[in-house]
Amino acid sequence: MEIRKLQKVGYSTLSVSIPSDWVKENNLQRGDNVYLKPEKDGSIRLFPNKLAEPEDEVEEYVCNADLCEEPNMLERVIVGNYILGREIFSVISSERISSEHVEEVRGIIRKLIGLGIVEETADHITLQCSVDPRKFHVDMLLRRLSVISLTIVKEAIQALTENNESLAKDAISREDEADMMCLLAMRLLVSAQRRKEVADAIGLEDSLHILYFGLMLRYLELVADYAQEIARRVIALMRRYKKQLPEWVIAKISNLNDLAHDLVLKAVDAFFIGDIKIANSLLEMLKFIELERDRLMTELPEIPHLRGILWDINRIADNGAGVALIAINNTLEKKTKICSKRWSVSFKK
C-alpha cells in the first residue's frame, strides 16, 4: 500500500497526487477526466474515463467441441462459462458438431436460467445469457434453494411412510430445480466478486459475505443431493422389500428425518436473523442425531437400503450444521450482546 499526503491548493481545496504508473497504464493526459465513487466503507474508488463509461461491446468466448472428447466434458465447460458470468458463448467444430454434443448443449441449457441458443448451424452454436445479475437478490435465491432442498427431504421419507412411489419420483425431479437455483446464485456471486456495483445491487455489501453465501450454496445443494439419494433408495426399498419392513422402522426413520429437516430449516433462519444461540443449539442437536443414527444402526433388520437412508439423513443434518456454523461467524461480524468490540488495550512487557 502506498501512502500519499494531502496537499492544500488555494484557500480551501485539498488534493492528492495520482501514481504516475497508473496514469501511464490508462493512457491519461493532463486535462482528461477521472471519476470518483464513494464506497460505504469510507473509501473512494478512482476510475479512468474508459472504465467509468458503460461498455457496449460484449466479449464472446469460444469452445472447440472437437477437443471435448470425454463424456459430459462439453456440458461442464458450458456450465463453467455460465458460472463465470459470460454472456455470449459459442461451440464450434472444424467440420460438423456431433449429435452427442448437440444433445449435451440442449440438455444443459434447460438447467441454466436465462441461457438460450441464439444461432445454430452445422458447425456453430451460439449461446447467450439474458440474466442481469443486478435484477436478483442473493438472499431470495438462497431462501428459494433452501425451500426446494427441504421439500425434497420431506417428500423422500413421506413417500416411504405413505408407500407412494410417485411422490419419491417427484422428490427426485425437484433436484434439477435446486441445481438451477444454485448455478444461478453461483453466477451472481462470481459477478459480485468482480464488480462492486453488482455486489451492492444483490445485497453483498462486504466481500466476506460472498464467501459465506458460497458456502451456504454448497451446503444446501448437498442437502438436496442426499435427499434425492434417499428418494432413490426409497423406491428400491418399496419395490422389493416393502412387505418385510416393520412399521416401527418406518416411524423411527421418519422421526430422525424430521430432526434433520428442522436442523437445516432453523440453521438457515439463524443465518438470516443472526441468532448465535439458536445456531449453537443446532450444533448440539447434531450430536443427538448422530447418537440416534448409531443406535438405530444396531436395531434395524438386515434389509438393503435402510442403513444407507440413515447415513444420508445424517449427512443432511451434518450440512445443516455447516450452515449453523456460518450463521455464527456471519453474526459475529456485527455487534451483539454476546460479542462486541471495545477500545484496544496496550500491554507493556
Task: Report the 3 state secondary structure along 195-255.
Answer: CHHHHHHCCCCCHHHHHHHHHHHHHHHHHHHHHHHHHHHHHHHHHHHHHHCCHHHHHHHHH
Range in 46-50, 65-69, 207-211 the model is least confident about: 46-50
The reported pLDDT for the residue numbered 343 is: 62
Range in 50-54, 118-122, 203-207, 312-316 the model is least confident about: 50-54
Residue type, 168: A
Residues 68 and 151 in one domain: no
Cβ within 8 Å of residue 141, ≥6 positions away: 181, 184, 185, 188
pLDDT in tens, 180-190: 999 999 999 98
Closest CA to 16 of 34, 39, 29: 34
pLDDT in tens, 208-218: 788 899 999 99
Instruction: Report the chain's mean pLDDT, rounded to a whole number.
Output: 89
Residues 211 and 260 in one domain: yes
Residues 300 and 183 in one domain: yes
pTM for the predicted model, two decimal places: 0.81
Q: How far apart are CA 247 and CA 258, in angstroms?
A: 17
Domain assignment present for residue 345? The answer is: no
Mean pLDDT of 224-251: 94
| pLDDT greater than 80 at residue 75 | yes
Instruction: Copy the grid coordinates of residue 349.
Output: 512487557
Residues 316 and 177 in one domain: yes
Residues 207 and 289 in one domain: yes
The reported pLDDT for the residue numbered 76 is: 96
The fraction of the chain above a pLDDT of 70, given in percent, is 93
Name the residue with higher pLDDT: 39 or 140.
140
Q: How far apart are CA 253 and CA 303, in angstroms?
A: 14
Mean pLDDT of 102-115: 94
Domain containing 76: what range? 60-129
Domain assignment present for residue 348? The answer is: no
Domain assignment present for residue 340? The answer is: no
Residue/partner pairs of 17-26 with CB below 8 Å, 24 or more apart: 18/46, 26/50
The reported pLDDT for the residue numbered 35 is: 80
157 confidence band (pLDDT: 50, 70, 90): very high
The reported pLDDT for the residue numbered 53 is: 47
